Amino acid sequence: MSSWQRTMRAAPLALFLLQLQACSHYIPVVTLEESPQTIPARVQLQPLVDSSTAGSRHSPQAGSGGDGAITDPAYLDEPLAELVTRAILKDFRTSGVFDAIGRNTSYPDLVLQGEIHRFQERVRSPRWLAIPVMNLLIMLFAAPVESHAVDVDLELVLTYPDGTPLGQYSGRSQFTQKISVYDPEVWNEEGHRLNLAFTEAVRQIREQMLADEKLMKATWRAATHKTPAPEPPPGMMR
Protein backbone atom coordinates (compact mmCIF):
# COMPACT_ATOMS: atom_id res chain seq x y z
CA MET A 1 0.00 0.00 0.00
CA SER A 2 1.39 3.39 -0.96
CA SER A 3 1.88 6.17 1.55
CA TRP A 4 -0.87 8.15 -0.23
CA GLN A 5 -3.33 5.29 0.22
CA ARG A 6 -2.44 4.96 3.88
CA THR A 7 -2.95 8.69 4.35
CA MET A 8 -6.30 8.57 2.60
CA ARG A 9 -7.44 5.75 4.85
CA ALA A 10 -6.27 7.64 7.92
CA ALA A 11 -8.24 10.77 7.05
CA PRO A 12 -11.68 9.51 8.11
CA LEU A 13 -10.14 8.17 11.31
CA ALA A 14 -8.60 11.56 12.10
CA LEU A 15 -11.90 13.31 11.50
CA PHE A 16 -13.68 10.76 13.67
CA LEU A 17 -11.19 11.28 16.50
CA LEU A 18 -11.72 15.04 16.29
CA GLN A 19 -15.40 14.52 16.99
CA LEU A 20 -14.68 11.89 19.66
CA GLN A 21 -12.37 14.26 21.56
CA ALA A 22 -15.09 16.90 21.63
CA CYS A 23 -17.17 14.56 23.80
CA SER A 24 -14.59 14.52 26.62
CA HIS A 25 -14.94 16.72 29.70
CA TYR A 26 -12.65 19.69 30.11
CA ILE A 27 -10.41 20.00 33.19
CA PRO A 28 -8.59 23.31 33.79
CA VAL A 29 -4.87 22.78 34.43
CA VAL A 30 -2.00 25.22 35.04
CA THR A 31 1.48 24.01 34.08
CA LEU A 32 4.08 26.41 35.44
CA GLU A 33 7.58 25.84 36.73
CA GLU A 34 8.57 26.30 40.37
CA SER A 35 8.32 29.89 41.54
CA PRO A 36 11.73 31.62 41.63
CA GLN A 37 10.72 33.29 44.90
CA THR A 38 8.30 32.57 47.72
CA ILE A 39 6.11 35.34 49.10
CA PRO A 40 6.36 35.24 52.92
CA ALA A 41 2.66 34.89 53.67
CA ARG A 42 0.01 32.42 54.76
CA VAL A 43 -2.89 32.85 52.36
CA GLN A 44 -6.52 31.79 52.40
CA LEU A 45 -7.95 31.30 48.92
CA GLN A 46 -11.62 32.08 48.41
CA PRO A 47 -13.63 30.67 45.47
CA LEU A 48 -13.34 32.79 42.35
CA VAL A 49 -16.42 34.52 41.00
CA ASP A 50 -17.40 33.60 37.45
CA SER A 51 -18.60 36.74 35.67
CA SER A 52 -17.75 35.51 32.18
CA THR A 53 -20.38 36.02 29.53
CA ALA A 54 -22.86 33.16 29.55
CA GLY A 55 -22.89 33.14 25.76
CA SER A 56 -19.19 32.33 25.71
CA ARG A 57 -19.86 29.01 27.45
CA HIS A 58 -23.30 27.90 26.29
CA SER A 59 -23.32 26.77 22.68
CA PRO A 60 -23.66 23.54 20.68
CA GLN A 61 -21.10 20.82 21.18
CA ALA A 62 -17.85 21.21 19.25
CA GLY A 63 -17.64 18.94 16.26
CA SER A 64 -21.37 18.92 15.54
CA GLY A 65 -21.07 21.01 12.40
CA GLY A 66 -21.01 24.52 13.82
CA ASP A 67 -19.86 26.43 16.86
CA GLY A 68 -18.96 24.68 20.08
CA ALA A 69 -17.71 25.74 23.50
CA ILE A 70 -15.22 23.66 25.49
CA THR A 71 -16.54 25.13 28.77
CA ASP A 72 -20.21 24.45 28.19
CA PRO A 73 -21.57 23.27 31.59
CA ALA A 74 -22.68 20.04 29.92
CA TYR A 75 -19.00 19.13 29.46
CA LEU A 76 -17.77 20.18 32.92
CA ASP A 77 -17.79 17.89 35.95
CA GLU A 78 -18.26 20.89 38.27
CA PRO A 79 -18.96 24.63 37.91
CA LEU A 80 -16.21 26.43 36.02
CA ALA A 81 -15.37 28.76 38.94
CA GLU A 82 -14.71 25.80 41.25
CA LEU A 83 -12.50 24.05 38.70
CA VAL A 84 -10.48 27.20 38.01
CA THR A 85 -10.10 27.96 41.73
CA ARG A 86 -8.87 24.43 42.36
CA ALA A 87 -6.34 24.62 39.50
CA ILE A 88 -4.91 27.92 40.77
CA LEU A 89 -4.67 26.54 44.30
CA LYS A 90 -2.80 23.47 43.09
CA ASP A 91 -0.34 25.54 41.07
CA PHE A 92 0.35 28.13 43.77
CA ARG A 93 0.79 25.39 46.34
CA THR A 94 3.03 23.03 44.36
CA SER A 95 5.16 25.80 42.83
CA GLY A 96 5.71 27.57 46.15
CA VAL A 97 4.30 31.00 45.37
CA PHE A 98 3.41 31.56 49.05
CA ASP A 99 4.65 30.14 52.34
CA ALA A 100 1.27 28.44 52.61
CA ILE A 101 -2.03 28.63 50.76
CA GLY A 102 -5.30 26.75 51.24
CA ARG A 103 -9.05 27.02 51.25
CA ASN A 104 -9.20 26.93 55.06
CA THR A 105 -5.87 28.38 56.16
CA SER A 106 -5.70 29.00 59.91
CA TYR A 107 -4.76 32.55 60.90
CA PRO A 108 -4.00 33.74 57.37
CA ASP A 109 -1.88 36.80 56.75
CA LEU A 110 -3.73 37.52 53.52
CA VAL A 111 -6.90 36.54 51.68
CA LEU A 112 -6.83 35.84 47.94
CA GLN A 113 -10.00 36.27 45.92
CA GLY A 114 -10.67 36.81 42.26
CA GLU A 115 -12.91 37.02 39.25
CA ILE A 116 -13.13 35.18 35.93
CA HIS A 117 -13.87 37.80 33.28
CA ARG A 118 -13.39 35.52 30.26
CA PHE A 119 -12.65 31.82 30.06
CA GLN A 120 -13.55 30.25 26.74
CA GLU A 121 -12.45 28.24 23.75
CA ARG A 122 -14.88 28.40 20.86
CA VAL A 123 -14.48 25.66 18.29
CA ARG A 124 -15.87 25.89 14.79
CA SER A 125 -16.00 23.04 12.29
CA PRO A 126 -17.18 23.40 8.67
CA ARG A 127 -20.73 22.15 8.24
CA TRP A 128 -19.68 20.11 5.21
CA LEU A 129 -17.22 18.12 7.30
CA ALA A 130 -19.74 15.32 7.77
CA ILE A 131 -20.04 14.69 4.00
CA PRO A 132 -17.90 11.58 3.21
CA VAL A 133 -16.80 12.74 -0.27
CA MET A 134 -15.33 15.89 1.28
CA ASN A 135 -12.58 13.80 2.92
CA LEU A 136 -10.76 13.71 -0.42
CA LEU A 137 -10.85 17.49 -0.82
CA ILE A 138 -9.69 17.94 2.77
CA MET A 139 -6.66 15.74 2.08
CA LEU A 140 -5.86 17.32 -1.28
CA PHE A 141 -6.00 20.91 -0.14
CA ALA A 142 -5.17 20.48 3.58
CA ALA A 143 -8.30 22.40 4.38
CA PRO A 144 -8.77 23.42 8.02
CA VAL A 145 -11.10 21.05 9.83
CA GLU A 146 -11.33 23.10 13.02
CA SER A 147 -10.91 26.71 14.06
CA HIS A 148 -10.21 27.55 17.73
CA ALA A 149 -10.67 30.98 19.33
CA VAL A 150 -9.28 31.10 22.87
CA ASP A 151 -9.69 33.89 25.43
CA VAL A 152 -8.82 33.82 29.15
CA ASP A 153 -9.04 36.94 31.34
CA LEU A 154 -8.51 36.59 35.11
CA GLU A 155 -8.19 39.01 38.00
CA LEU A 156 -6.91 38.16 41.50
CA VAL A 157 -7.00 40.47 44.52
CA LEU A 158 -5.05 40.13 47.76
CA THR A 159 -6.52 41.69 50.89
CA TYR A 160 -5.79 41.67 54.59
CA PRO A 161 -8.13 39.47 56.65
CA ASP A 162 -10.14 42.58 57.61
CA GLY A 163 -10.85 43.25 53.92
CA THR A 164 -8.35 46.06 53.38
CA PRO A 165 -7.04 45.77 49.78
CA LEU A 166 -3.33 45.11 49.34
CA GLY A 167 -2.84 44.36 45.64
CA GLN A 168 -4.71 43.67 42.40
CA TYR A 169 -3.25 41.46 39.65
CA SER A 170 -4.58 40.49 36.23
CA GLY A 171 -3.66 38.17 33.39
CA ARG A 172 -5.02 37.66 29.89
CA SER A 173 -4.22 35.45 26.93
CA GLN A 174 -5.96 35.39 23.55
CA PHE A 175 -5.22 33.57 20.31
CA THR A 176 -6.85 31.82 17.37
CA GLN A 177 -5.70 28.69 15.59
CA LYS A 178 -6.85 26.79 12.51
CA ILE A 179 -6.07 23.09 12.26
CA SER A 180 -5.88 20.71 9.31
CA VAL A 181 -5.61 16.91 9.40
CA TYR A 182 -1.87 17.27 8.71
CA ASP A 183 -1.30 19.45 11.76
CA PRO A 184 0.17 17.59 14.78
CA GLU A 185 -2.12 19.77 16.91
CA VAL A 186 -5.04 17.71 15.68
CA TRP A 187 -4.05 14.94 18.09
CA ASN A 188 -3.90 17.14 21.17
CA GLU A 189 -6.40 16.52 23.92
CA GLU A 190 -9.50 18.72 23.82
CA GLY A 191 -8.95 21.76 26.02
CA HIS A 192 -5.17 21.75 25.50
CA ARG A 193 -5.22 25.23 23.94
CA LEU A 194 -7.49 26.63 26.62
CA ASN A 195 -5.09 25.37 29.28
CA LEU A 196 -2.20 27.05 27.46
CA ALA A 197 -4.06 30.37 27.69
CA PHE A 198 -5.03 29.68 31.31
CA THR A 199 -1.39 28.96 32.17
CA GLU A 200 -0.22 32.16 30.47
CA ALA A 201 -2.78 34.27 32.35
CA VAL A 202 -1.71 32.77 35.69
CA ARG A 203 1.96 33.28 34.78
CA GLN A 204 1.30 37.01 34.25
CA ILE A 205 -0.47 37.23 37.61
CA ARG A 206 2.31 35.37 39.38
CA GLU A 207 4.98 37.64 37.89
CA GLN A 208 3.06 40.73 39.03
CA MET A 209 2.80 39.34 42.56
CA LEU A 210 6.51 38.52 42.74
CA ALA A 211 7.37 42.02 41.49
CA ASP A 212 5.16 43.67 44.13
CA GLU A 213 7.47 45.00 46.83
CA LYS A 214 4.59 45.16 49.31
CA LEU A 215 4.33 41.37 49.17
CA MET A 216 8.00 40.48 49.11
CA LYS A 217 8.86 42.56 52.19
CA ALA A 218 8.04 40.83 55.46
CA THR A 219 7.46 44.15 57.23
CA TRP A 220 3.78 44.21 56.25
CA ARG A 221 3.07 40.91 57.97
CA ALA A 222 0.12 40.44 60.34
CA ALA A 223 1.53 42.12 63.44
CA THR A 224 2.36 45.28 61.53
CA HIS A 225 -1.08 45.68 59.98
CA LYS A 226 -2.76 47.40 62.88
CA THR A 227 -4.30 50.81 63.30
CA PRO A 228 -1.60 52.95 64.94
CA ALA A 229 -2.35 53.95 68.53
CA PRO A 230 -3.28 57.62 68.81
CA GLU A 231 -0.51 59.91 69.95
CA PRO A 232 -0.97 61.00 73.59
CA PRO A 233 -1.70 64.67 74.25
CA PRO A 234 1.35 66.79 75.02
CA GLY A 235 2.56 66.39 78.57
CA MET A 236 1.01 62.93 79.05
CA MET A 237 2.90 59.71 79.33
CA ARG A 238 2.18 56.87 76.92
Which of 172, 75, 21 shows the shortest CA–CA distance to 83? 75
In this structure, is residue 229 part of a structural domain?
no
* Residue 54 vs residue 141, higher pLDDT: 54
Would you tell me the crossing angle of helices 134-141 and 3-21 to the nearest 10 degrees?
A: 110
HSE of 136, CA atoms in CB hemisphere, 13 A? 2
Task: List C-alpha distances in Å: 142 to 98, 132, 179, 192.
Answer: 48, 16, 9, 22
pTM of the model: 0.72
pLDDT over 90 (residue 103): yes
Task: Point out the least confidently predicted range of 13-27, 81-95, 117-131, 196-210.
Answer: 13-27
Give the percent of the chain with pLDDT over 90: 46
In this structure, is residue 7 part of a structural domain?
yes
Q: Can you say whether the dihedral through the CA atoms of 126, 128, 140, 6 is positive or negative? A: positive
What pLDDT was estimated at residue 191?
84
Mean pLDDT of 167-193: 75
Looking at the 3D structure of the chain, how many domains does it have?
Answer: 1
CATH number assigned to the domain comprising residue 93: 3.30.160.150
In this structure, is residue 235 part of a structural domain?
no
Which of 100, 116, 101 shows the shortest CA–CA distance to 28? 116
